[in-house]
Amino acid sequence: MRKAFTLIEILVALSVMAILMLAFVQFFGGTLRTTASLQVQNELLNEGQLAHHLIVSRIKEAWYVWPPGSKIKLAKGGWTTRNTIDGGHTWTVGPHFVAMILPPKKDGVACSKSKDGCFRFFAYYPMKRSLHRARAGVVEALEPDPANDSKVWILMEYRAHYGPGGDCPVKATGEPDPTVKAYRGKRGRVLVDYVQPLSDPWDPAYDYPALFSYVTAGGRVRAVTVSIRYARKARGRVYRVPAGKKPITVAVEPQNQDVKADPSRPYCK
């Protein structure tokens, strides 16, 4: 006759199963948390590297970079060009702001006939994520992130084309004319999210000196160093890229800094 299981044996078996299930849940729960953490870190790294590469490539191509201390007013109004650090719409070239002129995409093409023949203006500057969240419309709105909205920056890109005629950024001497204001009236756009302010909102030990720093000689910018750190709080933990105490830093020299205007080329005709 077949012997049945006793109550004690059943309880022991259930206890063993419970222990195994608990170990299973803890193992896979830890794996999922690790995966989620790696995802946050990788997103910050990938987006940061792309933004870094874009800014550095622009500077490398730049025909003229405004020197530190230059005052530039991107627009008379509008929240996308607002200086959320000092107020107003006037920016000072320095640790929070870089601006440059790039040559036309196509040589020998009249700007009046095609934008590819126009000089190009680019500027990069930080904006408080909270301001963008408060002002952006549905199309350009960032996802809400209460743990970070008031803590981090976003980096904005501003671009415009110089118009023909009097808006040409080339003086008769062949030098760039930094007084041209034809770049005004456009809108800034988000380049990258979760940029850490120069003062870390979670740990002062992670502060760094500047987003942009400059080497000048003879009144011209000879090199620009781009230093950006990314930070985001998720699931109760702060993630930083890079993980150490130094930001992602790249120094670049504008290749076209000594290019002179050629009257035979219809840059601005």
**pTM of the predicted structure, to 2 decimals:** 0.80
Phi, psi of 153 (to 5 degrees): -105, 165
Percent of the chain with pLDDT over 90: 34
* Higher-confidence position of 136 and 266: 136
Give mean pLDDT, residues 78-94. 88
Q: What is the structure's pLDDT at 164?
A: 47
Lowest mean pLDDT among 26-40, 51-65, 153-167, 231-245: 26-40
Q: Which of 16-20, 104-108, 167-171, 237-241 has the highest mean pLDDT?
A: 237-241
Burial of 20 (0-12, 13-18, 19+ CB in 10 A): exposed
Give mean pLDDT, residues 53-65. 92
Q: What is the structure's pLDDT at 85?
A: 85
Q: What is the structure's pLDDT at 170?
A: 55
Give mean pLDDT, residues 11-27. 69
Q: What is the structure's pLDDT at 269?
A: 45
Closest alpha carbon to 148 in 201, 100, 88, 75: 201
Q: What is the structure's pLDDT at 84?
A: 85
Give mean pLDDT, residues 95-114. 82
Any idea which residue has 């502060």 for tokens?
Answer: 207
Percent of the chain with pLDDT over 70: 76
Average model confidence (pLDDT) for the chain? Answer: 80
